[in-house]
Amino acid sequence: MKFLSYWHDTAPAFAPVYGYYDVAVIGGGFTGLGAARQLARARAKVAVLEAKKVGWGASGRNGGHLNNGLARSYLRFG
């Protein structure tokens, strides 16, 4: 059985991290990448440290919790 998506299968390996950074973000899921993006936009030098692959953990297996259309159904039907 295949569990990984095409993008996980074909993503190139990241280069080792060398040098100095303003911030090290631990984890390359939704929260970690979002934080890293905001910090980079603020001109911080950011390194994202991920144990496996970006989006590997819960972020890559999310069951639709970001769908705001479900909130109305929960309120209506419980």
- Residue ranges per structural domain of the chain: 18-58
Q: Which pLDDT value is given to residue 39?
A: 98
- Closest residue by Cα to residue 33 from 51, 16, 48: 48
Asked if residues 32 and 26 have their Cβ atoms less than 8 Å apart, the reply is yes
Q: Which helix (H) or strand (E) holds 40?
A: helix 30-41
Digit-coded pLDDT (tens) for 1-44: 565 677 777 878 888 888 999 999 999 988 999 999 999 999 99
pTM of the model: 0.65
Give the tokens for residue 78: 């419980």
What is the distance of C-alpha 39 from the center of its chain? Answer: 14
User: Does the structure show a pLDDT above 80 at 63?
Assistant: no
Between these two residues, 73 and 65, which has the higher pLDDT value? 73
pLDDT band at residue 70 under the 50/70/90 scheme: low
